[in-house]
Structure 1
Amino acid sequence: MSGAKPVHAAQTLFPVVDDCLHVGGIPLTRLAERVGRTPFYAYDRRLVAERVRHVRAHLPAAVELHYSIKANPMPALVQHLAGLVDGLDVASGGELKVALDTGMAPDCISFAGPGKSDAELRQAVAAGVAIHAESEREIRSLARIGEELGIAPQLVLRINPDFELKGSGMRMGGGAKQFGIDAEEAPRMLALAAGLGLDVLGFHIFSGSQSLKAEAIVEAQAQTIALALRLAEAAPGPVRTLNIGGGFGIPYFPGEARLDLAPIGAALEQALPRVKAAAPQAQLSIELGRYLVGEAGVYVARVVDRKVSRGQVFLVTDGGLHHHLAASGNFGQVIRKNYPVAIGNRMSALDTEAVSVVGPLCTPLDLLADRMELPRAEVGDLVVVFQSGAYGLSASPGGFLSHPGAQEVLV
């Protein structure tokens, strides 16, 4: 086939010069030489900084911006973001170490997630970070650990709201959830904490993620703020922290449009006076992960074989679902859809063919692109998967079949 190729919005973020994709201002072929081998992830620090500036330009200045490390815990990337955002959110003891290593002040770091071990709680109390308690067991453990260490825990209640973020890719609130304390149980937990001598700083309420609909996020944030202010009436002391989560999505598939932040920022600006009046000491914050880094990363694998099976062309690469589970469709997709994919060293080629890009694993699930129109590629060419800056390497089964791991670079 020939003619104009459809271009996914993700591809426009990275310049193309002389037929070759550039990441971080470096031609992909040269970047592959620098890294030394494929497969690898490359994250563009310029795009990350631009995305942070974009968020800050639309949100009220009074709202803090936090980075959720779970989206991408690569230490160099987290270090870069630590200089751009107001706080870091972690979900394990390992992520806590990454956050503390950046030099971010401990009181700007929060630790959320169900099933925290006593060792992790002790680590967090000793470090002085805010612990977002998700159960009665955690509250009681924090009281005991604080007494043993002689340190007052920085306690925030994570709340499971009685609503969800409509149209979200992953629903984190509403109904029965392993996340947070049910909203109706919160007054009892506040009384329990007070009885144990704990000081509750405030609330963390997160109802969903990966939404591309501004109106849905505006509605969820309004419900979140209303719930937090109701719960503040039962708090034994002033509310100083109010984390309303994030939920901002990025487009992965054809037909999806980028999220418009303008109405979200405007609604928050209108809500601030009400928050200030009801909880004058409360610091409002949002927590974003995928939205800050997802579009700034690419996954690169090299074609090691080209074969035709009963008329279907397969490009076999040295990378696959063991490095990038999400692109294979096995990280939450109900119906598998292709991530945006390109041949990174043949970006301007007009002659295309329908191909499937597969990895080296012994499973038909190892599929990075299914019957996509791509420029004709040969052994040695570089396959690029866009939208790969979040939930990539750390969210994939790297030990599957014992193939070599992928590398990561920040450029």
Structure 2
Amino acid sequence: MNTPKPAHAGMTQFAVDGGELLVGGVPLARLAARVGRTPFYAYDRAQLTARVREVRAHLPAAVGLHFSVKANPMPALVQHMAGLVDGLDVASAGELKTALDTGVDPVRISFAGPGKTEAELRQAIAAGVTLNVESPGEIDRAARIGDALGIAPRVVVRVNPDFELKGSGMRMGGGAKPFGIDAEQVPACLRQLDGLGIALQGFHIFSGSQSLKADAIADSHTRSVELALQLAADARGPVAGVYLGAGFGIPYFPGEQRLDLAPIGANLEQCVARLAAAMPGTRLSLESGRYLVGEAGVYVARVTDRKVSRGQVFLVTDGGLHHHLAASGNFGQVIRKNYPAAIGNRMAAEGERETVSVVGPLCTPLDVLAERMELARADVGDLVVVFQSGAYGLSASPTAFLGHPAPLEVLV
């Protein structure tokens, strides 16, 4: 058994045996036969477990670790993750049902996101999960629904800080945002909660995600803890928790380096000590999604045709943009780069290789999974694998586009 040619960091998570990719220890062709059809997503449970273990090894023991379900809401995967982490974060009634179905104590589930409907607020309060409130209006609605149900809502105030995570792929804080309550408005919201008789459970501060810069992440964590301490001065009672978006990113493209967790963990030790000195009994927790599951998943599509157009080889597959929007370039909204990919049943180091473009069956030139990429020579029936596909894959893609069947998902 060996590992793939290390052309990209995202491929080295998976082993190869006999020239064939292994997912969950199962050869890819055998796995495809078990699934019954292509395309499909496959998630490696051993890798999920190992990634959580790796993160915990770098975090102070006092820091909690929560999984953001929006990264991958596949029920079997969420069930597996629920047994590994300290809490689940959801962003819709559908995700809430998935989280509750795991049997996790509702207190360990938090519900974030702007624009929660009346029905979602009612379900969350009735279930006893923690609401991350994102506006004064949402606070009023939660209080009214709680009164009607005779249940005191569990409330964490989501804060929009006045800073962002530098170098992040997605900026969630700083400036005008639909997410959270501006830090300068939080004192008024704490008085609002007091007036409504709702006890504050803590603060949730999320400044950005998908960062590969440890120093920027550490700085964001430090500033977030300091902000929480400032805001706690206006809280009437003790603050049970401070919840931070981890911001951890994974490498998708050539040249990107893996995130070094060691300096982040060392900085968190200082954050924990700062909290313990100023607010004894307050627990610090990190919420992560992509980093925990992103590298443990692959997307698999079968080559249905091989054609040459004016000297360029095209491998046409039964999957594409409608199943894996991010790998295709998000409808052309970003400068497209290739995710790591391979011909999963032809992974031997030796053998013929060629430069090809891998495309899907959709009637749009945007339906591209790999563009002018060097891969093993493939023909009809071979299996194309797109790595780094465990997060924001199927659930973040336009599966209804052009009416093709949705892919399957398996946890191996």
TM-score (norm 1): 0.98
Judged with a 3 Å threshold, the aligned counterparts in structure 2 of structure 1 residues 315 and 295 are, in CA distance, closer, same or farther, namely same
Distance in 2, matches of 1:294 and 1:394, equals 13
Equivalent residues of 2:332, 2:366 under 8 A apart: no
CA distance in 1, matches of 2:304, 2:331: 25
Letter in 1 for 2:339: Y
1:6 is displaced (CA, Å) by 5.5
- Paired residue for 1:372? 373
Q: Unaligned stretches of 5+ in structure 2?
A: none
Partner of 2:150: 150
Equivalence for 1:282: 282
The letter for the 2-side match of 1:14 is F
Q: Name the CA distance, whole Å, in 1 between partners of 2:73 and 2:354.
A: 37
Residues 347-402 of structure 1 deviation map (CA, whole Å, 9 limit, x = unaligned):
11442111100000000110000000111110000000000000000000000000
Q: In the alignment, residue 99 of structure 1 is paired with which amino acid?
A: A
Q: 1:211 to 1:317 in 2, by over 3 A?
A: same
Distance 1:153 1:41 in 2: 37
Whether the 8 Å CA contact 2:331–2:366 is kept in 1: the answer is no
Give the letter for the 1:239 counterpart.
Answer: V
Partner of 2:206 in structure 1? 206
Distance change (3 Å), C-alpha of 1:245 and 1:6: closer
1:3-402 → structure 2 map (5 Å cutoff): 7-330=7-330, 334-348=334-348, 349-402=350-403
Contact 1:5 1:350 in 2 (8 A): no
Runs of 4+, deviation exceeding 2 Å: 331-334
Q: Counterparts of 1:246 and 1:272 in 2: how far apart (Å)?
A: 15
2:173 is paired with a residue whose SS is: coil
Per mean C-alpha deviation after superposition, the further-off stretch among 269-278 and 223-232 is 269-278
Give how far 1:278 is off.
Answer: 1.6
Instruction: Give unmatched runs, 5+ long, in structure 1.
Output: none
- Correspondence for 1:410: 411
Tell which deviates more after alignment, 189-198 or 40-49: 189-198
**CA drift at 1:334:** 2.5
**What is the letter of the counterpart of residue 105 of structure 2?**
A
2-structure distance, mates of 1:171, 1:200? 26
CA distance in 2, matches of 1:182, 1:23: 44
Deviation digits for residues 235-281 of structure 1 (CA, Å, limit 9, x no counterpart): 12110011011110000000111100000100111121210122112
Offset from partner CA, 1:31-58 (integer Å, 9 cap, x none): 0000000000000000000000000000
Residues of 2 paired with 1:246 and 1:115: CA distance? Answer: 23
Aligned-residue Cα RMSD (Å) equals 1.1
User: Following the alignment from structure 1 to structure 2, what is the Cα–Cα distance between the partners of residues 168 and 243?
Assistant: 18
Q: Deviations over 1:54-89 (max 9, x none)?
A: 000000000000000000000000000001000000
Give the AA of the match of 1:35. V
Q: Deviations over 1:202-222 (max 9, x none)?
A: 100000000001000000000
User: What amino acid is aligned across from residue 103 of structure 1 in structure 2?
Assistant: G
How far the C-alpha of 1:166 sits from its partner, in A, is: 0.2
Partners of 1:222 and 1:373 in 2: CA distance = 43
Quick one: distance in 2 between partners of 1:166 and 1:342?
A: 32
Partner deviation per Cα, 1:173-209 (whole Å, 9 max, x = no partner):
0000000000010001111111111111110000000
Moved more, 280-289 or 54-63: 280-289
* Letter aligned with residue 353 of structure 2: T
**8 Å CA contact 2:221, 2:244 repeated in 1:** yes
CA shift, 1:332, in A, is: 8.9
Residue correspondences, number: 408
Q: Secondary structure at the match of 2:148?
A: helix
- For 1:189, what is the secondary structure of its paired residue? helix
CA apart distance, 1:5? 5.8
